Amino acid sequence: MTAVIYARYSSDNQREESIEGQIRECTAFAEKNGITILKHYIDRAFSAKTDNRPEFQNMIRDSGKHLFDTVIVWKLDRFARNRYDSARYKTTLKKNGVRVVSATEIISDGAEGILLESLLEGMAEYYYADLSEKVIRGMTENALKCKYNGGSLPIGYIVDKEQHFQIDPLKSPFILEAYKKYADGCTMTQIRDWLNETGIKNARNQPFNYNNVQLILKNRRYTGEYIYRDVVIPDGIPAIVPKDLFDRVQEKMAKNKKAPARHKAEDDYLLTTKLFCGYCGAYLCGESGTSRTGEVHHYYKCVTVKKHRGNCHKRTEKKDWLEDLVVEQTMKMVMDDKVIEAIVSMLLDLQNKESSNLPLYEHQLRETENGIENLLNAIQQGIFTKSTKTRLDELEKIKQELEINISCERLAKPKLTKEQMTFWLHRFRKLDVNKKSHRKMLIDTFINAIFLYDDKILLTFNFKDGTKTITFNDVKTAIDSEYYGSDLKCFAAPKRVSL
């Protein structure tokens, strides 16, 4: 088995040693499990809330070369603190035959492990959101005083000792001239070339490109507006560009703006990678078709049928109807107190059974303490040599390292209580199933696989015995019931369609 190690820390406030510690523990995990490490991918001072991390993206691309089959991280939050990014990139890695494992949060490969992993990732996302709120609160206070809040400074400004914006006497004239040139008829490309000819650099100390010029011409700060999130203070900073000139440039940009290209519809087929044909076992992929009236219809279609690979007869099914059915059945499961209690009980058992470094460290500590005691007994009996002292020093050093490792392990991986798990699962009951992001979160967390037939659907959830079969006749009966309140009333039962 071959693997790579991915390590990162969030900001310059954290030390380089944190990377070394992650690499050390991931390497020890690999050695213990007979895994060969091929490469290290390290992002320094990059937050896991964003996927804009150079080495992370290199690792994702390299996974397509099929040179390794495992990514080892110190903790799951090193990979991502955003569940959307986590699910998205784990799916990409899975397609390339690569799995993500944590060196300190060993999670089983079974269906139950998916729930536990989702719980850990959710807690990490909650921690980040809570920390972000506190940071935003402090930065908002700065904003109300029109102080610099970090990030790239707009070209033409500098910051004084009190963190207030001041006009840069060297670069601000170029910004004003760029506005005048555009108002007089120059194109953004011509302004870009002019700026590069003058030798002035962009915020990253690189030559200007088209986007840099566009951002300059749209930046309201040059009119003196201080902007931070919802805080907008007119004349909060010194102005470089007169307001009337800025407005003329905006009007001209709006006129010169080309009609946007017709972009493809978003890939919002929520059941992709989880939906399988009940007859041949192949994936069902998203597909759309346009009727004679010009209306676009979306479907799920068996890959075997789509690519004519076999004799599968599975007919195409309507996307909206099918997704609503899955979401509705999943929400019914989430709203069942007995099911939640069963999941929590299962997770507690799983958490207690999961292997951890802590028992190993504690066992090694006991053995080390016994060794020290034996040497001390030998010394009391008059047996003392140079080798005895050397060995005693070695054991004392090992004991100290083990005690540190045990302390770090207990701090790094506190166990989740029954109340914490119940609270987290109950939060899913408050989801708005009309929102795409909430629907996706529900499906990604609880649905393991879906097997679709022409007359029924088999749902398998991410917990033991979590399987449910629903016939379409049962659904139709429920729809016809006057007491039935599902959104499925908006859609007709599946009918045979041809594209």
Write down the pLDDT at residue 493.
44
Contact 231, 137 (CB under 8 A): no
Q: Per residue in 378-393, pLDDT tens?
A: 888 877 777 888 888 8
Whether the pLDDT of residue 264 is over 70: the answer is: no
The residue among 306, 330, 280 whose CA lies nearest residue 452 is 280
Contact 47, 14 (CB under 8 A): no
Of 240-244, 357-361, 398-402, 419-423, the one with minimum mean pLDDT is 357-361
Of 194-208, 272-286, 458-472, the one with minimum mean pLDDT is 458-472
CA 59 to mean position of chain CA atoms: 15
DSSP state of 34: T
Write down the pLDDT at residue 136.
72
Report d(CA 100, CA 69) in Å as an integer.
9
Contact 198, 174 (CB under 8 A): yes
- Between residues 452 and 112, the one the model is more confident about: 452
Q: Give me the percent of the chain exceeding a pLDDT of 90.
A: 21
Q: What is the mean pLDDT of the chain?
A: 80
Whether the pLDDT of residue 459 is over 70: the answer is: yes
Of the pLDDT bands very low, low, confident and very high (cuts 50, 70, 90), residue 131 is low
Whether the pLDDT of residue 494 is over 60: the answer is: no
Beta pairing, strands 284-290 & 296-302: antiparallel
The residue length of the chain stands at 499
Whether the pLDDT of residue 229 is over 90: the answer is: no
Taking the model in full, what pTM does it have? 0.41
Write down the pLDDT at residue 158.
92
- Between residues 418 and 409, the one the model is more confident about: 418
Whether the pLDDT of residue 222 is over 90: the answer is: yes
Of the pLDDT bands very low, low, confident and very high (cuts 50, 70, 90), residue 81 is low
Write down the pLDDT at residue 339.
85
Of the pLDDT bands very low, low, confident and very high (cuts 50, 70, 90), residue 241 is very high
Average pLDDT over every residue of 225-253: 90
Write down the pLDDT at residue 139.
79
Of the pLDDT bands very low, low, confident and very high (cuts 50, 70, 90), residue 437 is confident
What tokens appear for 340 in the block? 């939640």
CA 32 to mean position of chain CA atoms: 28
What tokens appear for 301 in the block? 């279609």
Whether the pLDDT of residue 479 is over 70: the answer is: no
Write down the pLDDT at residue 461.
87
Whether the pLDDT of residue 483 is over 50: the answer is: no
Write down the pLDDT at residue 270.
87
Of the pLDDT bands very low, low, confident and very high (cuts 50, 70, 90), residue 347 is confident
Whether the pLDDT of residue 464 is over 70: the answer is: no
Average pLDDT over every residue of 66-78: 86
Q: Which amino acid is at 147?
A: K
Whether the pLDDT of residue 12 is over 60: the answer is: no
- Residue environment code for 376-409, b if the CB has 16+ CB neighbours within 10 A, otherwise e: eeeeeeeeeeeeeeeebeebeebbeebeebbebb
Write down the pLDDT at residue 59.
92
Whether the pLDDT of residue 134 is over 70: the answer is: no
Whether the pLDDT of residue 258 is over 60: the answer is: no
- The number of C-alpha atoms within 13 Å of 457 and in the hemisphere containing its C-beta is 26
- Between residues 46 and 237, the one the model is more confident about: 237
Report d(CA 249, CA 185) in Å as an integer.
10
Of the pLDDT bands very low, low, confident and very high (cuts 50, 70, 90), residue 416 is confident
For 282, 302, 499, the CA distances from 309, given in Å and listed in that order, are 10, 10, 18
Of 139-143, 216-220, 339-343, the one with minimum mean pLDDT is 139-143
Report d(CA 245, CA 192) in Å as an integer.
19
Whether the pLDDT of residue 224 is over 50: the answer is: yes
Whether the pLDDT of residue 260 is over 60: the answer is: no
Whether the pLDDT of residue 17 is over 70: the answer is: no
